[in-house]
Structure 1
Amino acid sequence: MENLKVWLRKNTSTTILTVLFLIVLVNKDAKAWLMRQVASTGILNSRISEAKEIHNALPKASYADFTVKNENGTVINFSDLQGKVVFINFWASWCPPCRAEFPSVQKFYNQYKKSPDMVFLTVNLDDNPDLGKSYLQEKGFTVPFLVPSGKIPEGLYSGSLPTTVVLDKKGVIRLHHKGLADYSKQSFYRQIDHLLKEKS
């Protein structure tokens, strides 16, 4: 026992780092916190493409029939969103990168939720939607809780969580980002403002 105490005194920093590593390894919120610190630098963010840069945009017809539904069972069809900037975020409560970016998604939502030309589709992909609802309630998030009501087109989501897509007012994909990002940056808001000023 004495040898262990001596070793711990000599290796305090190693012991602390090992304990922190183990906490991050097993705790989803700790993982999310660490990822959030990395995301907050902005190095993981993608940029919204200029319209002239779009060469391989997904044809609108391939996702115009995609629908989601809210907690009340009301169905939202993509074809009804023409003339709006649409922010789509595919997420799940068990996904640490989703948890890491969700505070920034909430801040972004708070910033633009009153804009008549902006639509938020935060689409939960938990096998059991109640887990997603519980997560939002536990954390105090107020973003719309939506689930797919049909097959998700591959052009929007191909299996990576989180995945974020931004459509312009013409329904063209201007951002398609797989993985963690920070959506509470002023640089991102400026890009969204630019999209909101574009004509449909």
Structure 2
Amino acid sequence: MENLKTWLKKNGFTTILTVLFIIILVNKDAKAWLMRQVASTGILNSSISEPKELRNASAKVTYAGFILKSEDGTLIDSSALQNKVVFINFWASWCPPCRAEFPSVQKLYDHYKSNPEMVFLTVNLDDNTALGKAYLKEKGFTVPFLVPAGNIPGTLYNGSLPTTVVLDKKGEIRLHHKGLADYSKSSFCTQIDELLKQKP
């Protein structure tokens, strides 16, 4: 027992760090918290880009066939979202980076949910949708719970979670970000405000 006390005195800091590391490895919410701290610095964020025609890109991307289903079974066809700024977030409840950025997605949603020119498509990709619903309920998130009702175009999502896409009023991709980001930053809201001011 005396040897253990002596060892702990000499290695207390290392022991604490090891325990914290194990908690972060095992606990999804602890991982998400740590990732959220990194995301809050803004170093992982990307910004909204110029429209394709200003970047000399060739063809316009179409989103026909990208259909989502809401919690009550209502089908949402993204082709009906023209003339609106569309924020799309692909996420899953088992994904620590998704959990890390979700509070910022909720804050962004709260800020713009009453704006008729802004639409949020938060698309859950859990194999068991009940897990996604339970996660939103447990955390008190009120973003729309949507699931794919068909194929997702590769131009929007290619398998990396989380993925966030912002479409302008013309349906152009203005942001395509794979990985964690903080969408509650005032600089991001300023960019969204600029898109909202533009005419379709």
Q: TM-score range by the shorter chain?
A: over 0.9
**Equivalent residue number for residue 34 of structure 2:** 34
> Could you tell me the TM-score, scaled by structure 2's length?
0.96
1:134-190, Cα deviation, whole Å (9 max, x unpaired): 000000000000000001111100000000000000000000000000000000000
Q: Unaligned stretches of 5+ in structure 2? A: none
User: Superposed, which structure 2 residues align to 1:1-200 within 5 Å?
Assistant: 1-51=1-51, 53-56=54-57, 59-61=60-62, 63-200=63-200
1:66-99, Cα deviation, whole Å (9 max, x unpaired): 1001011101101100000000000000000000
Q: How far apart in 2 are the matches of 1:98 and 1:54?
A: 30
Structure 1 outlier segments of 4+, above 6 Å: none
Q: How far apart in 2 are the matches of 1:64 and 1:89?
A: 18
Q: How far apart in 2 are the matches of 1:122 and 1:58?
A: 26
Shift of 1:54: 3.9
Q: How far apart in 1 are the matches of 2:198 and 2:133?
A: 34
Q: How far apart in 1 are the matches of 2:78 and 2:5?
A: 63
Shift of 1:58: 6.8
8 Å CA contact retained: 1:167, 1:174: yes
8 Å CA contact retained: 2:69, 2:75: yes
Aligned sequence identity (%): 75
Aligned length: 199
8 Å CA contact retained: 2:65, 2:151: no
Counterparts in 2 of 1:57 and 1:77: CA distance versus 1, 3 Å: farther
Secondary structure, counterpart of 2:122 in structure 1:
strand
Q: How far apart in 2 are the matches of 1:19 and 1:143?
A: 34
Secondary structure, counterpart of 1:23 in structure 2:
helix
> Could you tell me the TM-score, scaled by structure 1's length?
0.96
Secondary structure, counterpart of 2:141 in structure 1:
coil
Shift of 1:53: 4.5
Q: How far apart in 2 are the matches of 1:31 and 1:151?
A: 31
Shift of 1:60: 3.3
1:196 aligned partner, one-letter code: L
Secondary structure, counterpart of 2:155 in structure 1:
coil
RMSD: 1.2
Counterparts in 2 of 1:54 and 1:144: CA distance versus 1, 3 Å: farther
Q: How far apart in 1 are the matches of 2:56 and 2:188?
A: 22
Q: Unaligned stretches of 5+ in structure 1? A: none
1:29 aligned partner, one-letter code: D
1:85 aligned partner, one-letter code: V
Shift of 1:65: 1.8
